[in-house]
């Protein structure tokens, strides 16, 4: 029976390159000349920690990161900006930005519901942080892929392991 997997993954090396390029861009900008701003990528926890002086510089750093993501062909939807920033010491503020990897249960349920509501003769099952879709015809699986691409689930999705 033909199957494929729906996953949400970020290439670690491309992510590292995008963050390093954003660091270089920030260091070379005139408005950050005497700034103590820093951007650190924690590869183990998939978080980016930004420390800077004020809210304006924080927004500029996040904009630089998003532009570097786009130039590196990474989806900016992988950046979770929901966490508020907080004060560290003195006049410095810190923001932890989570890089989304894997499909969480809530998003997986939305995807499965969308597939079931479409009326296609396929089965979708949740496995850890990915979804497996199986059906009798490859055409149905391709219809599921186009259905998922047409909707926004709040994070980038990839379709891998198409097997016949």
Report the distance separating Cα 34 and Cα 162, nearest Å: 52
How many percent of the chain have pLDDT more than 90? 70
Q: What kind and span of H or E run contains 69?
A: helix 55-71
Q: Is pLDDT above 80 for 147?
A: yes
DSSP character for 30? G
pTM of the model: 0.82
pLDDT tens digits, one per residue of 50-87: 999 888 999 999 999 999 999 999 999 999 888 887 77
The CATH number of domain 12-99 is 3.30.70.990? yes
* Banded pLDDT at 91 (limits 50, 70, 90): confident
* Banded pLDDT at 148 (limits 50, 70, 90): very high
Domain ranges of the chain: 3-8+103-163, 12-99
Cα 96 to Cα 1, 101, 141, 143: the distances in Å are 43, 16, 38, 38
Residues for the chain: how many in total?
164
Question: What fold is seen in the domain 3-8+103-163?
Answer: Alpha-Beta Plaits (3.30.70)
Q: Is pLDDT above 80 for 90?
A: no
């Amino acid at each position: 029976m033909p199957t494929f997997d729906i996953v949400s993954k970020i290439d670690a090396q491309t992510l590292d390159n995008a963050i390093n390029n954003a660091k270089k861009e920030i260091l070379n900008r005139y408005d950050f000349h005497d700034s103590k701003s820093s951007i650190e990528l924690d590869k183990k926890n998939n978080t980016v920690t930004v420390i800077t002086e004020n809210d304006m510089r924080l927004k500029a750093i996040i904009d630089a990161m998003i532009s570097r993501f786009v130039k590196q062909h990474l989806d900016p939807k992988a950046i979770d900006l929901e966490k508020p920033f907080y004060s560290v010491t003195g006049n410095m503020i810190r923001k932890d930005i989570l890089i989304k990897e894997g499909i969480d249960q809530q998003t997986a349920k939305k995807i499965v519901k969308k597939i079931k509501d479409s009326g296609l003769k396929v089965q979708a099952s949740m496995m850890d942080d990915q979804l497996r879709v199986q059906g009798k015809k490859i055409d149905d699986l391709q219809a599921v892929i186009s259905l998922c691409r047409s909707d926004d689930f709040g994070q980038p999705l990839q379709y891998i392991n198409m097997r016949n």
